[in-house]
Amino acid sequence: MKKGFALWFTGLSGAGKSTIANLLVERLHTMDRPVELLDGDEIRKNLSQGLGFSKADRDANIQRIAFVAKLLSRYGVIAITAAISPYRETRDRAREEIGTEHFVEVFIDCPLQVCEERDVKGLYARARTGEIAHFTGISDPYEAPTHAEITLHTNRETPEESVESIVAYLAETGKLTRDEMLSSNHSYTPQEEALVEERLRNLGYL
């Protein structure tokens, strides 16, 4: 059985966590890897009903996500979490719970202004008027990672480029194998194909 691991996405609301995570799920499926997406909103609906957005409740929610991710990775599944997880200490506890060797922190870095511009639901505007309390980035803090394994700048790159950066890291660290990289039936644009070939060549696969 192949080793599972957790990709822990963290970033502000609107940074692109869910978009990139869903694309990555599709990408990994082309390699026949078992993948589960633990979306923050869905976890709150199903596992964390009754929890609010105080620090204590946020921490409890993250602990539950980490526990599920640990179980999935133990059985060879790639667990992708897409939750704001704003507190550094809580993310560090999630890393300890899952195990450092099975934990990849992915910082979805995007300026607050850009996140607000992307907000079609108007959540940031409601937070700024006080209608929504405990809103990360406005009335509650977001503690950016200081040593994330992967940092993606989603104001400067497309979601597809972000996915390829993640895949490249997983290949470079041995979490994806040579055969998986070569057997993927993902459809590339000419630019993506050239980029992937360059990375495979640098890794000694070509």
Q: Which residues are catalytic?
A: 85
b (16+ CB within 10 A) / e for 118-131: beeeebbeebeeee
Say which residue the tokens 């694309």 belong to. Answer: 23
In 3D, which of 2, 145, 141 has the Cα closest to residue 77? 2
Residue 34: burial class (beta carbons within 10 Å; 0-12, 13-18, 19+):
middle
Q: What are the residues whose beta carbons fall under 8 Å from the beta carbon of 54, sequence distance 6 or more?
A: 134
* The residue type at 83: A
